[in-house]
């Protein structure tokens, strides 16, 4: 990944989506050669020279101030995730690259696994910002049984979404899930542009999936904190589940996700049925259930 190239493409795509009318620029009916705002219009609205903004958009951010970045972010109407992404890209492009050690497999503390196992009525899992599922409870594995059917560990939700055809039947709003997955990976790439495993994952998905490659080029980002997932489970049918994501303070970079159904709803009843099937038997092994270490 190239932070300077990413800055150029990120600012260009954000500029293209803002119409002159949105920015308060009079439209005199003249045909415009480019969609959205021109560079000189962004510069004018941000209070900087055209040459200065052009250098920014080309990835030359040496000495750029937070004030200027804030002004540009305001003109381009960046949301919270986009603002954070811009600052991440700036930080990556202006910091001397250091050799990064190969990341080790995250070891989930037993106490955290106990928390997952205690949530017997709600699918719960811990993942990193590459969308690797690192630990789960039984109900999560039952819900995502199709994703866990393959041999590769850890299960990666982005790889499942884009490379497993069955994911299109499992996720009822597959397009939204695909958008979310790419946006999360793009956000992660802004924070860690030289992270080897992330780079390999993006390269693999870009090579094997046109759907991924198109979305990756859009440079969209988002925070994945809460939302609704609509799924079709082969055994219990359709499920509408709300998820909450919580950062794990004891494991920087990891997030605990928990999904629940509206009490008394059809999804709630179906989730209860699935939970009863996923309950451990008397002979089932007990204790920590950390998933196997990453391969390769």
Where do the domains of the chain lie, and which CATH numbers do they carry? 3-93 (1.10.260.40), 110-278 (3.30.450.180)
Residue 213: Cβ-neighbour burial (10 angstroms; 0-12, 13-18, 19+): middle
Q: Are 112 and 22 in contact (CB under 8 A)?
A: no
Edge-to-edge strands of the sheet including 237-247? Answer: 133-136, 124-127, 255-260, 237-247, 226-233
**Could you give the C-alpha distances from 255 to 15, 135, 184, in angstroms and in order?**
32, 11, 12
**Could you give the C-alpha distances from 7 to 114, 149, 234, 289, in angstroms and in order?**
42, 39, 43, 41
**Could you give the C-alpha distances from 278 to 120, 139, 140, 268, in angstroms and in order?**
9, 6, 9, 15
State the pLDDT confidence band at 28, using cuts at 50, 70 and 90: low
Percent of the chain with pLDDT over 90: 67
State the pLDDT confidence band at 96, using cuts at 50, 70 and 90: low
In whole angstroms, give the CA distance from residue 186 to residue 235.
34
Q: Would the pLDDT of 26 be above 80? A: no
Mean pLDDT, to the nearest integer, of 27-33? 68
pLDDT in tens, 211-229: 999 999 999 998 888 999 9
Mean pLDDT, to the nearest integer, of 126-150? 94
Tokens of 234: 């082969």
Instruction: Name the nearest CA neighbour of 3 among 73, 67, 60.
Output: 60
pLDDT in tens, 57-84: 988 887 888 999 999 999 999 999 999 9
The predicted pLDDT at position 30 comes to 63
Which of 23-32, 112-121, 178-187 shows the lowest mean pLDDT across its residues?
A: 23-32
Q: Which residue has the higher pLDDT, 21 or 34?
A: 21
Q: Which residue has the higher pLDDT, 221 or 104?
A: 221
């Amino acid at each position: 990944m190239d932070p300077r190239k990413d800055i150029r493409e990120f600012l260009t795509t954000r500029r293209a989506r803002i119409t002159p009318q949105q920015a308060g620029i009079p439209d005199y009916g003249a045909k415009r050669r480019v969609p959205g705002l021109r560079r000189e219009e962004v510069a004018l609205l941000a209070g900087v020279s055209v040459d200065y903004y052009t250098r920014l958009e080309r990835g030359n951010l040496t000495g750029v101030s937070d004030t200027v970045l804030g002004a540009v972010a305001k003109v381009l109407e960046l949301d919270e995730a986009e603002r954070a992404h811009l600052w991440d890209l700036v930080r990556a492009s202006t910091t001397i690259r250091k050799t990064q050690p190969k990341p080790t497999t995250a070891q989930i503390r037993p106490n955290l696994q106990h928390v997952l196992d205690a949530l017997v009525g709600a699918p719960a899992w811990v993942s990193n910002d590459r969308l690797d599922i690192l630990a789960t409870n039984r109900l999560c594995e039952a819900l995502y049984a199709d994703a866990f059917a393959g041999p590769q560990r850890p299960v990666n939700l982005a790889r499942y979404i884009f490379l497993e055809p069955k994911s299109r039947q499992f996720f009822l709003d597959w397009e939204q899930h695909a958008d979310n997955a790419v946006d999360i990976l793009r956000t992660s790439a802004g924070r860690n542009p030289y992270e080897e495993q992330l780079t390999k994952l993006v390269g693999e998905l870009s090579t094997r999936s046109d759907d991924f490659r198109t979305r990756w080029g859009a440079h969209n980002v988002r925070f994945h904190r809460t939302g609704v997932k609509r799924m079709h489970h082969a055994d219990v049918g359709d499920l509408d589940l709300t998820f909450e994501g919580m950062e794990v303070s004891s494991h920087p970079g990891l997030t605990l996700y928990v999904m629940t159904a509206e009490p008394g709803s059809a999804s709630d009843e179906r989730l209860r049925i699935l939970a009863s099937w996923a309950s451990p038997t008397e002979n089932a092994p007990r204790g920590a259930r950390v998933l196997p270490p990453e391969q390769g």
